[in-house]
Structures are given as structure tokens and as C-alpha cells.
Amino acid sequence: LIEAVGAREILDSRGNPTVEVEVLLDDGIVQRAAVPSGASTGAFEAYELRDGDKGRYAGKGVLKAVEAVIDELGPAIEGLEASEQRVVDAALIEADGTPNKQRTGANAILGVSLAVAKAAADSADLPLFRYVGGPNAHVMPVPLLNVINGGAHADTGVDIQEFFLVPHGADTYAEALRWGVETYHVLKSELKAGGFATGLGDEGGFAPDLPSNREALDFLLKAIEKAGFTPGTDIALGLDVASTEFFSDGAYAFEGKKLTSEQLTDYYVELLDAYPLVTIEDPLAEDDWDGWKALTDRIGSRVQLVGDDLFVTNPQRLADGIARGVGNSLLVKVNQIGTLTETLDAVALAHSSGYTAMMSHRSGETEDTTIADLAVAVNCGQIKTGAPARSDRVAKYNQLLRIEEELGAGATFAGRGAFPRYTA
């Protein structure tokens, strides 16, 4: 039984306040969870409650959310069975009472939801991935390493936010991670040799001020080859364009031009012809449903098209997208929707509808590694949690190493099968 719930304000990887929750069970178990935070957030995400008190942390404090945990959310679930996650999450949603979780804050609610799951797992003496996923949790995800950071995550002129190495040709997760890391180090020397800066962006990738987005892809190809791997078969490429960030008044401001969704789609077709891309996230903006539909019809059979700002891990928005035939993959961010239950529902809907799902961190992260366990729990076969640098990113990759070891012979690496539309 849940005996007590506490919360505090801690810092995330960008030095901004965030919520940490602790849950005490009547058997003495204590577990905590910390909440991540985005920079290129979608307009339809659940509400992140910040104090707005300019006298503290430039208004970004989360003391109101902390107070909501202590005064309202905790009391709403104290006495409930921690293993009844759906009952707990329903009680949290009801206690908040708003459709967007804006009264108590999705950051407050998520912290409680995840801390309860971790406490229940500990109480059952199970690792989190096993507790959440049951006996069938066994698929080790392909790590999508975001090694070049642009867009809202770096102060450069590169429009595309994330450039991924996708080491899907490896035999195990540990091997895939090593391939990606070796390539990451070669990429650094290549950028240096080319006269570009190798400072890091928010997610641990390099943030060079490259003259074009294609230049970034060229650097990745060069690094993969120099590291001794074959582009496409060993290590493929992926993008998170995060295009909502440069969409306004019906046009995409891309590489100094104003493009229509059709013109931007033409550009993606050229990229698909030239590079071994297996996945493109948010190629078009969160409101551009017609553009998304046309884009999906054109290239959806060739590449994974991931909806992040478009679906915001929201089962309703995803159902809408599925009905319209938009996209073919769901990006999964626990804080976009605010409870574990709704996150699992979104993944289940994606999978039952023939959509893939990719587990994801936020650009603002903490040492909390819950998403690594969730990726294995739901067998989604893909995770993006930054470059192999910065402890907030590496913590998740390291947790997956532990999980693969724990699964032993029971582990299956998702590999190329994770990207069913890969045809390069």
C-alpha cells in the first residue's frame, strides 16, 4: 500500500528546476522518480506547471508542482495498492480534474506515476522492465544516437534538430552501442579536421555550425566509413527535423528559403535517394495534417515517419492520425502525456495499428533511467536518448547494458527488424 508521497525541486541537465517525487510503501520500500523537460515542446503536450515567479530561477521554479504533489496528488493515492497502476493513475487524473493536467501540472503527476511504478517493482522484487512488461519483455532496442545537434538544441544555423546514427546491423545492443560510440569519436576528429567546433549541444551531440543539413549527413557517412563500418547495412542514419520550430504562417523557413510542405517533402525524397535514412521524425509541423498525409502517401513505404509534436504520446491524437493514415510511427515521451498508464496505452495502440514506437528522452533530462526500462518493457525495439556523452544521456544507455546482461540468453536485439520500412 502507498503510505506517503513526497516531492522536491531538483535540477535538470540544463540547470532548470524540475520535480522529483518519492513514494513510501507500507513495507518500507522507498523509490523516487525525476521528471524530464523539453525545449522544442509541442503545443498539444500535457501542461508543465512552472511557478512564473521571476524572483526565482527566472520564473522556472516548480514549487507549485511540488506543493501539488504533497497537498493533493499524494493524499489522492495514499492507501491505494501500488501495483494497481491503472487505478493509481486514474486517481491522479481525477485529482487534477483538467483535460490537459494543467491544474496540478503534468510534471507533478508524472513524477508520482513513475515513482509508484518503481516502488511497486521494488516491492515485488522485480527489475522495472520486468515488472512493467511481464514475462515477454525481452527486446533490446536499437539506440538512436543523436550525434549532431541543431535546431533548438544548439546555437548554430543548422535547421534540423537531431542527426542520428542507427547501428541496427549489430548482433546485440552492447555491440550496437559500441559501434555508435566508436563512430561518435571518429566524427569528432573529422569535424575538428574540417575546422568545425566540437562543443556539445543539449543532448550531447556535437554542435558544429555547418553550412547545410546535407553537410551533416556527409560527415556522418564519412565517420561511419572511417570507423570501419558500412553505411546503411551496419549503421543507418535518421533525423528529427522538429519542423514545428521553423513553421509559421503556412511556410517552412528552411536553409534560408520559405518552403511549402510539398517542397520540403521533395527535399526529403532527395535525401532518401542519397542517404541510408531509416527514420525521419516530425518532417512536417504539428498542425500540418494535410501536408503529413501527402508526405506519408509519398514516402511512408520507404522510411519510418515518426510523430512527436504531431502525436504528443496522446492516444487520442494518435488514433486520429491512424484514422487519417498519417505517419507510421509514434514517438514516446512520458512527460508529454503525464502518466505511465496513458503512455502504455499509446504504445499499445501504435503497435496494434501497425505503427512502430520509439522510446524517447527529453532535451532536459536527469539521472533518472526509467525510459530505458520502459523501452524493454514494451518491446518497442528503438530508443533515442542522445549522444554517448553527458551523464544524463549515458545513464540510460548504461542501464540498457545492465538490462541486456540481466536478460542474458533471453534477450533479442531488435536490429534491422525495428525499421520494417527500410529499403536502402
Under the rule (CB under 6 A), what is the footprint of ligand PGA?
38-41, 161, 240, 242, 308, 360, 362-363
Phi, psi of 51 (to 5 degrees): -65, -35
- Binding segment for Zn ion (CB under 5 A), chosen from 278-286, 322-330, 372-380, 396-404, is 278-286
Q: Is 225 annotated as a binding residue?
A: no
Distance separating alpha carbons of residues 61 and 64, to the nearest angstrom: 8
Point out the catalytic residue in the list 60, 222, 293, 333: 333
326 close to 300: Cβ distance less than 8 angstroms:
no
Minimum CB–partner distance for residue 364 and ligand PGA (Å): 7
Min dist CB 362 to ligand PGA, Å, is 4
Residue 203 annotated as catalytic = yes
For residue 88, the SS3 value is helix
Cell numbers for 126:
522485480
- Least spacing, CB of residue 41 vs ligand PGA, in Å: 5
Task: Return d(Cα 145, Cα 389) in angstroms, integer.
Answer: 10
Residue nearest ligand PGA by beta-carbon distance:
38
Question: Could you say which of 20, 22, 182, 203 is catalytic?
Answer: 203
Which H or E run contains 298? Answer: helix 289-299
In the chain the first and final C-alpha atoms are separated, in Å, by 52
Annotated catalytic residue 333: yes
Which of 190/240 has CB closer to Zn ion? 240
Measured from the CB atom, is 234 or 392 closer to ligand PGA? 392
384 appears as a binding residue in the annotation: yes
363 is in an annotated binding site: yes
Sole residue written with cell 507500507: 26
Q: Does residue 368 touch Zn ion according to CB under 5 A? A: no
CB of 146 to ligand PGA, least distance (A): 9
Is the CB of residue 344 less than 8 Å from the CB of residue 332? no
All residues at 6 or more sequence positions from 52 whose CB lies less than 8 Å from its CB, including other chains:
59
The CA distance from 132 to 117, in Å, is 8
Among Zn ion, ligand PGA, none, the one that 362 touches (CB under a kind-dependent 5 to 8 A) is ligand PGA
Annotate each residue in 237-276 with x if it binds Zn ion (CB under 5 A) or - if it does not, as one string.
Answer: ---x-x----------------------------------
Is residue 26 a known part of a binding site? no
b/e sequence 66-103, b meaning 16+ C-beta within 10 Å: bbbbbebbbebbeeeebbebeebbebbbebbeeeebee
Known binder of ligand: residue 286?
no
Give the catalytic positions in this structure.
Answer: 203, 333
Residues forming contacts to Zn ion in the complex (CB under 5 A) are 240, 242, 281, 308
Binding-site entries: 153, 161-162, 240, 281, 308, 333, 360-363, 384
